[in-house]
Amino acid sequence: MFCRGIVTLFFVLFTFLSSFAATSLEQAKNRVKDYVTNTLKLDEYRVMYTQSQPSSILLMFNKKSVAVPSNSWVFFIDEKPAQDWAHDCRYAFVSKSTGSLTVTRNILPPSTFDGWVEYFSKTKNADGRLSDGVNPNLIDWNLYSTRLGSASSRCHAILISGGWNKYNNNQRYWNNCSMVYQMLTKCYGFSTSNINVLMADGTNPAADLHLSNNTYINSPADLDGNGRNDIQYPATKSSLTHVFDSLKVKLNSLDELFIYVTDHGDEDGSICLWGQSITPAEFAREVDKLSFLKSISIVMVQCFSGAHIPTLQKPNRTIITAARSCESAYSTYDYSLFGRRWVEAMAKYDAISKKSCNPDFDSDYKVSMLESFVYANSFKNSDDFGSEPLYWSDGCFGEKQFMDGLMERDLIYNSNIASGNIVKKGDNYLTSKSVISGGNVKFLSYGQVLLKSTFAVTRGATFTAKILDCEENNHLVSCSSLRSLREDDEEFYDGNEPLTSGIEETSASLVSVWPNPTTGMLYVRASDESAGCSVTVVDALGKVLLSKETADAEVELDLTGLNSGIYFVKVVSGSESKIEKVVLK
Protein backbone atom coordinates (compact mmCIF):
# COMPACT_ATOMS: atom_id res chain seq x y z
CA MET A 1 0.00 0.00 0.00
CA PHE A 2 2.85 2.34 0.88
CA CYS A 3 4.65 1.59 -2.40
CA ARG A 4 1.46 2.18 -4.39
CA GLY A 5 1.12 5.60 -2.69
CA ILE A 6 4.71 6.50 -3.55
CA VAL A 7 4.13 5.58 -7.20
CA THR A 8 0.91 7.62 -7.30
CA LEU A 9 2.64 10.60 -5.72
CA PHE A 10 5.51 10.36 -8.19
CA PHE A 11 3.10 10.23 -11.13
CA VAL A 12 1.19 13.28 -9.90
CA LEU A 13 4.47 15.16 -9.32
CA PHE A 14 5.75 14.22 -12.79
CA THR A 15 2.52 15.39 -14.39
CA PHE A 16 2.66 18.62 -12.39
CA LEU A 17 6.26 19.33 -13.41
CA SER A 18 5.55 18.38 -17.04
CA SER A 19 2.80 20.95 -17.18
CA PHE A 20 5.42 23.57 -16.41
CA ALA A 21 7.79 22.21 -19.06
CA ALA A 22 5.14 22.15 -21.82
CA THR A 23 5.04 25.17 -24.19
CA SER A 24 1.74 27.04 -24.23
CA LEU A 25 0.27 28.72 -27.30
CA GLU A 26 1.06 32.15 -25.86
CA GLN A 27 4.68 31.15 -25.31
CA ALA A 28 4.86 29.83 -28.87
CA LYS A 29 3.39 33.09 -30.19
CA ASN A 30 6.04 35.09 -28.34
CA ARG A 31 8.77 32.77 -29.66
CA VAL A 32 7.65 33.32 -33.26
CA LYS A 33 7.12 37.05 -32.75
CA ASP A 34 10.67 37.41 -31.44
CA TYR A 35 11.97 35.45 -34.46
CA VAL A 36 10.08 37.63 -36.96
CA THR A 37 10.90 40.91 -35.24
CA ASN A 38 14.50 40.41 -34.16
CA THR A 39 15.88 37.75 -36.51
CA LEU A 40 14.09 38.31 -39.83
CA LYS A 41 13.66 42.09 -39.38
CA LEU A 42 11.22 42.27 -42.28
CA ASP A 43 9.79 45.51 -43.64
CA GLU A 44 6.41 43.80 -44.00
CA TYR A 45 4.90 40.59 -42.68
CA ARG A 46 1.70 38.85 -41.74
CA VAL A 47 1.82 36.04 -39.17
CA MET A 48 -0.98 33.50 -38.66
CA TYR A 49 -1.35 30.36 -36.55
CA THR A 50 -3.62 27.33 -36.31
CA GLN A 51 -4.38 25.28 -33.22
CA SER A 52 -5.06 22.17 -35.24
CA GLN A 53 -2.33 19.56 -35.52
CA PRO A 54 -2.20 18.52 -39.19
CA SER A 55 0.42 16.04 -40.35
CA SER A 56 0.99 18.23 -43.40
CA ILE A 57 -0.20 21.53 -44.88
CA LEU A 58 -1.55 21.44 -48.44
CA LEU A 59 -0.35 24.48 -50.40
CA MET A 60 -1.98 26.72 -52.96
CA PHE A 61 -2.32 25.03 -56.39
CA ASN A 62 -2.79 21.71 -54.52
CA LYS A 63 0.49 20.37 -55.90
CA LYS A 64 2.68 20.37 -52.80
CA SER A 65 2.49 20.09 -49.04
CA VAL A 66 4.69 20.95 -46.07
CA ALA A 67 5.32 18.28 -43.44
CA VAL A 68 4.43 19.30 -39.88
CA PRO A 69 6.52 18.01 -36.96
CA SER A 70 4.42 16.11 -34.44
CA ASN A 71 3.23 17.82 -31.25
CA SER A 72 3.93 21.35 -32.53
CA TRP A 73 2.28 24.73 -32.66
CA VAL A 74 1.96 25.72 -36.33
CA PHE A 75 2.56 29.24 -37.76
CA PHE A 76 2.60 30.79 -41.22
CA ILE A 77 4.78 33.85 -41.95
CA ASP A 78 4.00 35.84 -45.11
CA GLU A 79 7.13 37.89 -45.83
CA LYS A 80 5.58 40.05 -48.57
CA PRO A 81 1.84 40.42 -47.89
CA ALA A 82 1.40 43.08 -50.60
CA GLN A 83 2.93 40.89 -53.29
CA ASP A 84 1.34 38.30 -55.56
CA TRP A 85 1.98 34.63 -54.98
CA ALA A 86 4.34 32.93 -55.39
CA HIS A 87 6.80 34.76 -53.12
CA ASP A 88 8.92 34.19 -50.01
CA CYS A 89 7.14 32.84 -46.96
CA ARG A 90 7.92 30.52 -44.04
CA TYR A 91 6.24 27.85 -41.96
CA ALA A 92 7.30 27.94 -38.31
CA PHE A 93 6.82 25.09 -35.82
CA VAL A 94 7.26 25.42 -32.06
CA SER A 95 7.61 22.13 -30.20
CA LYS A 96 4.98 21.84 -27.48
CA SER A 97 7.34 19.76 -25.34
CA THR A 98 10.69 21.57 -25.73
CA GLY A 99 9.74 25.03 -27.06
CA SER A 100 12.31 24.72 -29.86
CA LEU A 101 11.61 26.58 -33.12
CA THR A 102 11.96 25.00 -36.54
CA VAL A 103 11.34 26.98 -39.73
CA THR A 104 11.02 25.84 -43.31
CA ARG A 105 11.01 28.24 -46.25
CA ASN A 106 8.58 28.14 -49.14
CA ILE A 107 6.97 30.31 -51.79
CA LEU A 108 3.30 29.31 -51.46
CA PRO A 109 0.64 29.83 -48.75
CA PRO A 110 -1.74 27.18 -47.43
CA SER A 111 -4.41 26.15 -49.92
CA THR A 112 -7.02 27.40 -47.43
CA PHE A 113 -6.90 29.56 -44.34
CA ASP A 114 -9.93 27.97 -42.71
CA GLY A 115 -9.01 27.54 -39.04
CA TRP A 116 -6.08 29.98 -39.23
CA VAL A 117 -6.00 33.11 -37.06
CA GLU A 118 -3.94 36.23 -37.78
CA TYR A 119 -1.61 36.94 -34.87
CA PHE A 120 0.24 40.13 -35.78
CA SER A 121 1.29 41.99 -38.94
CA LYS A 122 3.15 44.96 -40.32
CA THR A 123 2.07 46.27 -43.71
CA LYS A 124 2.64 49.27 -45.92
CA ASN A 125 1.76 50.37 -49.42
CA ALA A 126 4.10 51.51 -52.17
CA ASP A 127 2.27 54.83 -52.67
CA GLY A 128 2.20 55.56 -48.94
CA ARG A 129 -1.35 54.56 -48.07
CA LEU A 130 -3.70 51.64 -47.69
CA SER A 131 -6.83 51.77 -49.79
CA ASP A 132 -10.24 51.12 -48.33
CA GLY A 133 -11.27 48.45 -50.79
CA VAL A 134 -12.22 48.28 -54.44
CA ASN A 135 -13.44 51.19 -56.49
CA PRO A 136 -13.67 51.92 -60.24
CA ASN A 137 -12.24 55.35 -59.39
CA LEU A 138 -9.76 54.16 -56.78
CA ILE A 139 -7.08 56.17 -58.55
CA ASP A 140 -7.91 59.42 -60.37
CA TRP A 141 -8.43 57.80 -63.75
CA ASN A 142 -8.96 60.98 -65.75
CA LEU A 143 -7.30 59.02 -68.52
CA TYR A 144 -10.69 57.59 -69.38
CA SER A 145 -12.01 60.97 -70.48
CA THR A 146 -10.06 60.82 -73.74
CA ARG A 147 -11.18 58.63 -76.64
CA LEU A 148 -8.01 57.32 -78.32
CA GLY A 149 -9.48 54.87 -80.80
CA SER A 150 -12.65 53.42 -82.17
CA ALA A 151 -12.77 49.64 -81.89
CA SER A 152 -14.99 47.94 -84.42
CA SER A 153 -17.33 45.04 -83.74
CA ARG A 154 -14.40 42.84 -84.77
CA CYS A 155 -12.47 43.65 -81.58
CA HIS A 156 -12.97 41.25 -78.66
CA ALA A 157 -11.40 40.79 -75.22
CA ILE A 158 -11.10 38.20 -72.44
CA LEU A 159 -10.18 39.27 -68.88
CA ILE A 160 -9.15 36.53 -66.41
CA SER A 161 -8.62 36.84 -62.64
CA GLY A 162 -8.76 33.64 -60.57
CA GLY A 163 -7.97 34.40 -56.93
CA TRP A 164 -7.87 30.75 -55.74
CA ASN A 165 -10.12 31.42 -52.72
CA LYS A 166 -11.45 34.35 -50.73
CA TYR A 167 -8.33 34.48 -48.55
CA ASN A 168 -5.96 34.93 -51.48
CA ASN A 169 -8.22 36.85 -53.88
CA ASN A 170 -6.87 40.30 -53.09
CA GLN A 171 -8.53 43.58 -54.00
CA ARG A 172 -5.76 44.53 -56.43
CA TYR A 173 -6.91 41.86 -58.88
CA TRP A 174 -10.37 43.41 -59.06
CA ASN A 175 -8.75 46.84 -59.47
CA ASN A 176 -6.46 45.54 -62.23
CA CYS A 177 -9.44 44.22 -64.19
CA SER A 178 -11.40 47.41 -63.58
CA MET A 179 -8.54 49.49 -64.98
CA VAL A 180 -8.26 47.36 -68.11
CA TYR A 181 -12.03 47.13 -68.62
CA GLN A 182 -12.41 50.91 -68.48
CA MET A 183 -9.45 51.44 -70.78
CA LEU A 184 -11.05 49.13 -73.36
CA THR A 185 -14.52 50.66 -73.21
CA LYS A 186 -13.82 54.34 -72.52
CA CYS A 187 -10.54 54.91 -74.37
CA TYR A 188 -11.02 52.55 -77.30
CA GLY A 189 -14.77 52.09 -77.58
CA PHE A 190 -14.96 48.32 -77.08
CA SER A 191 -18.49 47.01 -77.05
CA THR A 192 -19.26 45.60 -73.60
CA SER A 193 -20.89 42.60 -75.30
CA ASN A 194 -17.49 41.78 -76.82
CA ILE A 195 -15.70 41.56 -73.45
CA ASN A 196 -15.76 38.28 -71.52
CA VAL A 197 -14.83 38.66 -67.85
CA LEU A 198 -13.94 35.55 -65.82
CA MET A 199 -13.34 36.54 -62.20
CA ALA A 200 -13.12 34.55 -58.94
CA ASP A 201 -16.42 32.74 -58.29
CA GLY A 202 -18.28 34.73 -60.94
CA THR A 203 -21.80 35.84 -60.02
CA ASN A 204 -21.97 33.78 -56.81
CA PRO A 205 -23.15 36.20 -54.06
CA ALA A 206 -20.84 34.70 -51.43
CA ALA A 207 -17.88 36.71 -50.13
CA ASP A 208 -14.90 36.02 -52.41
CA LEU A 209 -12.66 39.11 -52.15
CA HIS A 210 -10.03 39.92 -49.50
CA LEU A 211 -9.69 43.64 -48.72
CA SER A 212 -6.57 45.28 -47.33
CA ASN A 213 -8.32 45.88 -44.00
CA ASN A 214 -8.59 42.09 -43.66
CA THR A 215 -12.35 41.90 -44.27
CA TYR A 216 -14.14 39.98 -47.02
CA ILE A 217 -16.83 41.06 -49.49
CA ASN A 218 -18.47 39.75 -52.64
CA SER A 219 -16.63 40.98 -55.74
CA PRO A 220 -18.61 43.92 -57.21
CA ALA A 221 -19.88 42.82 -60.62
CA ASP A 222 -19.79 46.41 -61.91
CA LEU A 223 -16.23 47.13 -63.07
CA ASP A 224 -16.74 50.65 -64.44
CA GLY A 225 -19.24 52.22 -62.05
CA ASN A 226 -22.12 52.58 -64.52
CA GLY A 227 -24.50 50.42 -62.52
CA ARG A 228 -24.44 47.42 -64.88
CA ASN A 229 -22.87 44.03 -64.17
CA ASP A 230 -19.71 43.26 -66.15
CA ILE A 231 -18.57 39.90 -64.69
CA GLN A 232 -20.17 36.94 -66.48
CA TYR A 233 -18.26 33.81 -65.46
CA PRO A 234 -16.25 32.25 -62.62
CA ALA A 235 -12.55 31.87 -63.37
CA THR A 236 -12.62 28.09 -63.75
CA LYS A 237 -11.31 25.72 -66.40
CA SER A 238 -14.81 24.85 -67.55
CA SER A 239 -15.75 28.51 -67.98
CA LEU A 240 -12.52 29.22 -69.81
CA THR A 241 -13.18 26.32 -72.19
CA HIS A 242 -16.76 27.53 -72.69
CA VAL A 243 -15.62 31.05 -73.62
CA PHE A 244 -12.97 29.90 -76.09
CA ASP A 245 -15.31 27.31 -77.63
CA SER A 246 -18.02 29.95 -78.02
CA LEU A 247 -15.65 32.43 -79.67
CA LYS A 248 -14.37 29.69 -81.97
CA VAL A 249 -17.89 29.38 -83.39
CA LYS A 250 -18.70 33.09 -83.31
CA LEU A 251 -15.52 34.65 -84.74
CA ASN A 252 -13.71 34.40 -88.08
CA SER A 253 -10.41 35.39 -89.67
CA LEU A 254 -11.34 39.09 -89.73
CA ASP A 255 -11.72 39.30 -85.94
CA GLU A 256 -9.14 40.32 -83.34
CA LEU A 257 -8.69 39.32 -79.69
CA PHE A 258 -7.05 40.87 -76.63
CA ILE A 259 -6.41 38.61 -73.59
CA TYR A 260 -5.54 39.95 -70.13
CA VAL A 261 -4.50 37.76 -67.16
CA THR A 262 -3.91 38.90 -63.59
CA ASP A 263 -3.64 37.18 -60.17
CA HIS A 264 -1.23 34.57 -58.79
CA GLY A 265 1.09 32.29 -60.73
CA ASP A 266 2.87 29.07 -59.77
CA GLU A 267 6.58 28.46 -60.31
CA ASP A 268 5.79 26.11 -63.24
CA GLY A 269 3.90 28.98 -64.90
CA SER A 270 0.41 27.76 -63.99
CA ILE A 271 -2.26 30.46 -63.85
CA CYS A 272 -4.26 30.65 -60.64
CA LEU A 273 -8.00 30.16 -61.21
CA TRP A 274 -10.79 29.78 -58.63
CA GLY A 275 -9.67 26.75 -56.64
CA GLN A 276 -7.91 25.43 -59.74
CA SER A 277 -4.90 26.15 -61.89
CA ILE A 278 -4.13 25.87 -65.58
CA THR A 279 -0.65 25.13 -66.93
CA PRO A 280 0.98 27.05 -69.79
CA ALA A 281 0.40 24.08 -72.13
CA GLU A 282 -3.28 23.83 -71.14
CA PHE A 283 -3.82 27.57 -71.54
CA ALA A 284 -2.09 27.54 -74.93
CA ARG A 285 -4.46 24.81 -76.12
CA GLU A 286 -7.40 27.08 -75.34
CA VAL A 287 -5.85 30.08 -77.10
CA ASP A 288 -4.85 27.95 -80.09
CA LYS A 289 -8.54 27.27 -80.75
CA LEU A 290 -8.56 30.82 -82.12
CA SER A 291 -5.31 30.73 -84.11
CA PHE A 292 -7.31 31.61 -87.25
CA LEU A 293 -7.94 35.15 -85.96
CA LYS A 294 -6.46 38.17 -87.68
CA SER A 295 -4.64 39.24 -84.51
CA ILE A 296 -4.18 38.11 -80.89
CA SER A 297 -2.46 40.24 -78.24
CA ILE A 298 -1.87 38.91 -74.72
CA VAL A 299 -0.86 40.77 -71.54
CA MET A 300 -0.11 38.75 -68.39
CA VAL A 301 0.85 40.40 -65.09
CA GLN A 302 0.95 37.38 -62.73
CA CYS A 303 4.05 35.78 -61.19
CA PHE A 304 6.17 33.56 -63.47
CA SER A 305 4.11 34.78 -66.45
CA GLY A 306 7.12 34.57 -68.77
CA ALA A 307 6.70 30.78 -68.76
CA HIS A 308 3.79 31.26 -71.19
CA ILE A 309 5.81 32.83 -74.00
CA PRO A 310 7.28 29.53 -75.34
CA THR A 311 3.84 27.86 -75.45
CA LEU A 312 1.94 30.84 -76.90
CA GLN A 313 4.39 31.84 -79.66
CA LYS A 314 2.43 31.67 -82.90
CA PRO A 315 1.99 33.80 -86.04
CA ASN A 316 -0.04 37.01 -85.72
CA ARG A 317 0.49 37.26 -81.97
CA THR A 318 2.17 39.52 -79.45
CA ILE A 319 2.78 38.51 -75.81
CA ILE A 320 3.70 40.85 -72.93
CA THR A 321 4.46 39.53 -69.43
CA ALA A 322 5.28 41.28 -66.16
CA ALA A 323 7.97 38.77 -65.19
CA ARG A 324 10.27 36.05 -66.41
CA SER A 325 9.51 32.37 -65.89
CA CYS A 326 11.54 32.37 -62.65
CA GLU A 327 10.26 35.61 -61.08
CA SER A 328 7.46 36.89 -58.90
CA ALA A 329 5.56 39.97 -60.07
CA TYR A 330 5.38 42.86 -57.63
CA SER A 331 2.22 44.75 -56.69
CA THR A 332 0.86 47.22 -54.17
CA TYR A 333 -2.36 46.53 -52.28
CA ASP A 334 -4.17 48.38 -55.06
CA TYR A 335 -2.69 47.30 -58.39
CA SER A 336 0.05 45.49 -60.29
CA LEU A 337 3.10 47.75 -60.65
CA PHE A 338 3.86 46.79 -64.24
CA GLY A 339 0.16 46.39 -65.03
CA ARG A 340 -0.69 49.96 -64.01
CA ARG A 341 2.11 51.39 -66.15
CA TRP A 342 0.94 49.32 -69.12
CA VAL A 343 -2.64 50.63 -68.79
CA GLU A 344 -1.31 54.18 -68.53
CA ALA A 345 0.65 53.66 -71.75
CA MET A 346 -2.47 52.51 -73.57
CA ALA A 347 -4.47 55.41 -72.11
CA LYS A 348 -1.67 57.99 -72.53
CA TYR A 349 -2.19 59.26 -68.99
CA ASP A 350 -0.16 58.93 -65.76
CA ALA A 351 -2.79 58.32 -63.08
CA ILE A 352 -0.50 59.17 -60.13
CA SER A 353 0.99 62.42 -61.43
CA LYS A 354 -2.33 63.23 -63.15
CA LYS A 355 -0.52 64.27 -66.32
CA SER A 356 -0.70 63.04 -69.87
CA CYS A 357 2.13 60.79 -71.05
CA ASN A 358 3.31 60.04 -74.55
CA PRO A 359 4.33 56.45 -75.32
CA ASP A 360 3.66 57.19 -79.02
CA PHE A 361 7.34 57.19 -79.94
CA ASP A 362 6.83 57.22 -83.73
CA SER A 363 4.29 60.08 -83.55
CA ASP A 364 1.56 58.35 -85.53
CA TYR A 365 -1.02 59.29 -82.84
CA LYS A 366 -1.58 55.64 -81.89
CA VAL A 367 -0.02 53.40 -79.23
CA SER A 368 1.12 50.03 -80.52
CA MET A 369 1.66 46.94 -78.38
CA LEU A 370 5.40 47.45 -78.76
CA GLU A 371 5.18 51.08 -77.67
CA SER A 372 3.03 50.17 -74.65
CA PHE A 373 5.65 47.65 -73.53
CA VAL A 374 8.61 50.01 -74.05
CA TYR A 375 6.88 52.73 -72.03
CA ALA A 376 5.80 50.46 -69.15
CA ASN A 377 9.18 48.74 -69.03
CA SER A 378 10.95 52.11 -68.73
CA PHE A 379 9.67 52.32 -65.11
CA LYS A 380 11.24 48.98 -64.15
CA ASN A 381 13.85 50.58 -61.88
CA SER A 382 12.10 53.72 -60.66
CA ASP A 383 8.98 51.75 -59.65
CA ASP A 384 11.01 48.77 -58.41
CA PHE A 385 9.09 46.13 -60.35
CA GLY A 386 11.33 43.44 -58.85
CA SER A 387 11.07 41.54 -62.13
CA GLU A 388 12.08 41.68 -65.79
CA PRO A 389 9.05 42.29 -68.05
CA LEU A 390 9.17 40.40 -71.36
CA TYR A 391 7.94 41.09 -74.88
CA TRP A 392 7.59 38.69 -77.79
CA SER A 393 6.00 39.34 -81.14
CA ASP A 394 5.70 37.58 -84.48
CA GLY A 395 8.40 39.61 -86.22
CA CYS A 396 7.33 43.25 -86.13
CA PHE A 397 3.66 42.34 -85.70
CA GLY A 398 3.48 44.13 -82.35
CA GLU A 399 4.45 47.40 -84.03
CA LYS A 400 1.27 47.12 -86.12
CA GLN A 401 -1.10 45.99 -83.34
CA PHE A 402 -3.24 48.67 -81.74
CA MET A 403 -5.93 48.22 -79.12
CA ASP A 404 -8.64 49.22 -81.55
CA GLY A 405 -7.41 46.99 -84.36
CA LEU A 406 -4.50 45.85 -86.50
CA MET A 407 -2.90 48.37 -88.83
CA GLU A 408 -4.42 48.14 -92.32
CA ARG A 409 -2.35 46.46 -94.98
CA ASP A 410 -3.33 48.13 -98.24
CA LEU A 411 -4.75 51.63 -98.08
CA ILE A 412 -6.19 53.61 -101.00
CA TYR A 413 -5.95 57.20 -99.89
CA ASN A 414 -8.03 59.75 -101.81
CA SER A 415 -8.78 62.49 -99.27
CA ASN A 416 -8.26 66.16 -100.06
CA ILE A 417 -6.38 67.74 -97.16
CA ALA A 418 -6.72 71.47 -96.54
CA SER A 419 -5.02 71.89 -93.16
CA GLY A 420 -3.59 70.20 -90.09
CA ASN A 421 -0.79 67.79 -89.25
CA ILE A 422 -1.68 64.28 -90.39
CA VAL A 423 0.29 61.06 -90.01
CA LYS A 424 -0.89 57.86 -91.72
CA LYS A 425 0.76 54.51 -91.02
CA GLY A 426 0.24 51.25 -92.89
CA ASP A 427 1.84 48.46 -94.90
CA ASN A 428 1.15 49.83 -98.37
CA TYR A 429 -0.29 53.11 -99.67
CA LEU A 430 -1.87 53.90 -102.98
CA THR A 431 -3.07 57.45 -103.56
CA SER A 432 -5.91 58.24 -105.90
CA LYS A 433 -7.13 61.84 -106.34
CA SER A 434 -5.54 63.27 -103.21
CA VAL A 435 -4.70 66.95 -103.14
CA ILE A 436 -2.80 68.43 -100.18
CA SER A 437 -3.51 72.16 -100.17
CA GLY A 438 -2.47 72.99 -96.62
CA GLY A 439 -0.86 71.57 -93.52
CA ASN A 440 1.67 68.77 -93.24
CA VAL A 441 1.08 65.17 -94.25
CA LYS A 442 3.32 62.17 -93.57
CA PHE A 443 2.91 58.60 -94.83
CA LEU A 444 4.68 55.85 -92.84
CA SER A 445 4.76 52.52 -94.64
CA TYR A 446 6.27 49.10 -94.02
CA GLY A 447 5.75 48.33 -97.69
CA GLN A 448 5.53 50.91 -100.46
CA VAL A 449 3.93 54.26 -101.23
CA LEU A 450 2.51 54.66 -104.75
CA LEU A 451 1.56 58.18 -105.84
CA LYS A 452 -0.71 58.48 -108.86
CA SER A 453 -0.32 61.27 -111.38
CA THR A 454 -3.37 63.03 -109.95
CA PHE A 455 -1.68 63.43 -106.56
CA ALA A 456 -0.79 67.07 -105.85
CA VAL A 457 0.68 69.25 -103.10
CA THR A 458 -0.19 72.96 -103.30
CA ARG A 459 -0.25 76.26 -101.36
CA GLY A 460 2.88 75.66 -99.34
CA ALA A 461 1.73 72.31 -97.90
CA THR A 462 4.31 69.61 -97.21
CA PHE A 463 4.24 65.91 -97.87
CA THR A 464 6.79 63.32 -96.74
CA ALA A 465 6.84 59.55 -97.05
CA LYS A 466 9.03 57.16 -95.10
CA ILE A 467 9.55 53.44 -95.59
CA LEU A 468 9.87 51.85 -92.16
CA ASP A 469 12.19 49.07 -91.08
CA CYS A 470 10.72 46.26 -89.03
CA GLU A 471 12.27 46.58 -85.57
CA GLU A 472 11.52 43.03 -84.36
CA ASN A 473 12.24 44.42 -80.92
CA ASN A 474 11.64 41.28 -78.90
CA HIS A 475 12.68 41.62 -75.27
CA LEU A 476 13.40 38.14 -73.96
CA VAL A 477 15.74 38.06 -70.98
CA SER A 478 16.55 34.57 -69.74
CA CYS A 479 16.69 33.53 -66.10
CA SER A 480 20.40 33.56 -65.24
CA SER A 481 19.64 31.83 -61.96
CA LEU A 482 16.73 30.88 -59.77
CA ARG A 483 16.43 32.07 -56.21
CA SER A 484 18.87 30.50 -53.78
CA LEU A 485 18.31 29.92 -50.08
CA ARG A 486 19.73 32.29 -47.51
CA GLU A 487 21.56 30.51 -44.73
CA ASP A 488 19.79 30.85 -41.38
CA ASP A 489 20.92 28.76 -38.42
CA GLU A 490 17.41 27.89 -37.29
CA GLU A 491 16.13 26.82 -40.70
CA PHE A 492 16.11 23.57 -42.61
CA TYR A 493 15.47 23.05 -46.29
CA ASP A 494 12.67 20.63 -47.11
CA GLY A 495 13.06 20.34 -50.87
CA ASN A 496 10.11 22.57 -51.77
CA GLU A 497 12.27 25.19 -53.45
CA PRO A 498 14.14 24.66 -56.76
CA LEU A 499 17.88 25.26 -56.89
CA THR A 500 20.16 25.53 -59.92
CA SER A 501 23.36 24.67 -58.03
CA GLY A 502 25.62 26.79 -60.15
CA ILE A 503 23.95 26.28 -63.52
CA GLU A 504 24.03 29.51 -65.49
CA GLU A 505 21.50 30.21 -68.18
CA THR A 506 21.96 32.32 -71.29
CA SER A 507 19.61 33.36 -74.02
CA ALA A 508 19.72 31.09 -77.07
CA SER A 509 17.01 31.54 -79.64
CA LEU A 510 18.70 29.09 -82.05
CA VAL A 511 18.30 26.07 -79.75
CA SER A 512 14.90 24.38 -79.36
CA VAL A 513 13.76 21.97 -76.63
CA TRP A 514 10.36 20.30 -76.92
CA PRO A 515 7.74 19.13 -75.93
CA ASN A 516 7.42 20.89 -72.60
CA PRO A 517 5.77 19.58 -70.46
CA THR A 518 6.71 16.06 -71.57
CA THR A 519 5.58 12.57 -70.63
CA GLY A 520 9.06 11.16 -71.19
CA MET A 521 10.53 11.79 -74.63
CA LEU A 522 12.38 15.09 -75.12
CA TYR A 523 13.91 16.47 -78.30
CA VAL A 524 16.68 19.03 -78.70
CA ARG A 525 17.55 20.74 -81.96
CA ALA A 526 20.22 23.34 -82.86
CA SER A 527 20.06 25.40 -86.05
CA ASP A 528 23.77 24.91 -86.85
CA GLU A 529 23.95 21.35 -88.16
CA SER A 530 27.75 21.36 -88.19
CA ALA A 531 28.17 22.35 -84.53
CA GLY A 532 26.67 19.28 -82.86
CA CYS A 533 25.14 19.29 -79.36
CA SER A 534 26.16 18.71 -75.75
CA VAL A 535 23.13 18.09 -73.51
CA THR A 536 23.02 17.79 -69.69
CA VAL A 537 19.94 17.00 -67.58
CA VAL A 538 19.98 17.88 -63.87
CA ASP A 539 17.36 17.77 -61.11
CA ALA A 540 16.20 20.69 -58.95
CA LEU A 541 19.16 20.20 -56.59
CA GLY A 542 21.74 20.29 -59.39
CA LYS A 543 22.47 16.54 -59.54
CA VAL A 544 23.49 15.45 -63.04
CA LEU A 545 21.13 12.70 -64.18
CA LEU A 546 21.94 12.42 -67.86
CA SER A 547 24.52 13.81 -70.29
CA LYS A 548 24.89 13.25 -74.00
CA GLU A 549 27.12 14.56 -76.78
CA THR A 550 26.54 14.12 -80.48
CA ALA A 551 27.81 15.49 -83.76
CA ASP A 552 24.21 15.80 -84.96
CA ALA A 553 22.06 18.91 -84.68
CA GLU A 554 19.19 16.94 -83.11
CA VAL A 555 19.23 14.87 -79.91
CA GLU A 556 16.55 12.53 -78.55
CA LEU A 557 16.37 12.08 -74.75
CA ASP A 558 14.37 9.43 -72.89
CA LEU A 559 13.33 10.68 -69.44
CA THR A 560 10.74 7.98 -68.76
CA GLY A 561 12.93 6.47 -66.03
CA LEU A 562 12.82 9.66 -63.94
CA ASN A 563 10.20 10.67 -61.41
CA SER A 564 7.63 13.32 -62.32
CA GLY A 565 8.85 16.81 -61.47
CA ILE A 566 10.93 19.76 -62.68
CA TYR A 567 14.30 19.24 -64.39
CA PHE A 568 16.80 21.54 -66.09
CA VAL A 569 18.22 20.78 -69.53
CA LYS A 570 21.40 22.60 -70.52
CA VAL A 571 22.21 22.59 -74.24
CA VAL A 572 25.50 23.80 -75.76
CA SER A 573 25.87 23.97 -79.53
CA GLY A 574 28.82 25.91 -80.94
CA SER A 575 28.61 29.43 -79.50
CA GLU A 576 24.94 29.02 -78.57
CA SER A 577 23.71 27.75 -75.20
CA LYS A 578 20.37 27.43 -73.47
CA ILE A 579 18.91 26.15 -70.23
CA GLU A 580 15.30 25.01 -70.35
CA LYS A 581 13.18 24.22 -67.29
CA VAL A 582 11.33 21.04 -68.28
CA VAL A 583 8.27 19.62 -66.55
CA LEU A 584 8.11 15.82 -66.62
CA LYS A 585 4.56 14.57 -66.08
Please write the tens of the pLDDT for every residue from 479-498: 753 333 323 333 332 333 33
- Top-confidence residue, 175 or 364: 175
Q: What is the share, in percent, of the chain residues with pLDDT greater than 90?
A: 48
Mean pLDDT for all residues in the chain: 82
Name which of 437, 432, 443 is nearest 418 in CA terms.
437
Using CA atoms, how far residue 122 sits from 37, 73, 89, 90, in Å, is: 10, 22, 14, 16
Name which of 247, 184, 388, 202 is nearest 304 in CA terms.
388
At 548, give phi and psi (nearest 5°).
-155, 135
Distance in angstroms (rounded) separating the CA atoms of residues 108 and 66: 10
- Top-confidence residue, 542 or 65: 65
- Top-confidence residue, 549 or 91: 91
pLDDT of res. 482: 37
Could you give the angle at which helices 337-347 and 171-182 cross, rounded to 10 degrees? 10
pLDDT of res. 395: 86
- Top-confidence residue, 494 or 311: 311
Enumerate the β-bridge partners of residue 469: none
DSSP classification of residue 142: G
Q: Which residues of 175-198 are buried (b: 16+ CB within 10 A; e: fewer)?
A: bbbbbbbbbbbbbbbbeeebbbbb
Amino acid at 37: T
Alpha helices in 167-279 (DSSP H): 171-182, 237-250
Mean pLDDT on 364-378: 92
Residue 159 has pLDDT above 80, yes or no: yes
Q: Where are the beta strands (DSSP E) in 488-564?
A: 491-492, 511-514, 521-526, 533-538, 544-550, 554-558
pLDDT of res. 223: 94
Residue 414: pLDDT band by 50, 70, 90 thresholds? low
- Top-confidence residue, 300 or 515: 300
Lowest mean pLDDT among 122-126, 183-187, 452-456: 122-126
CB-based contact 581:325 (threshold 8 Å): yes
Distance in angstroms (rounded) separating the CA atoms of residues 516 and 566: 11
Consecutive H or E run containing 278: strand 277-278
How many other CB atoms sit within 10 Å of the CB of residue 86? 24
Q: pLDDT by residue (tens digit) across 556-580?
A: 888 888 877 777 788 887 766 677 7
Using CA atoms, how far residue 62 sits from 51, 56, 108, 290, 496, in Å, is: 22, 12, 10, 30, 13
CB-based contact 381:402 (threshold 8 Å): no
Using CA atoms, how far residue 440 sits from 101, 358, 463, 465, in Å, is: 74, 21, 6, 11
Residue 375 has pLDDT above 70, yes or no: yes
Q: Which residues of 481-490 are buried (b: 16+ CB within 10 A; e: fewer)?
A: ebbeeeeeee
Amino acid at 202: G
Please state the length of the chain.
585
pLDDT of res. 577: 66
CB-based contact 174:135 (threshold 8 Å): no
Residue 77 sits at the vertex; the CA angle it makes with 493 and 95, to the nearest 5 degrees, is 65
Lowest mean pLDDT among 41-55, 229-243, 452-466: 452-466
CB-based contact 455:430 (threshold 8 Å): no
Nearest 10 degrees: Cα torsion 576, 577, 578, 584? 120
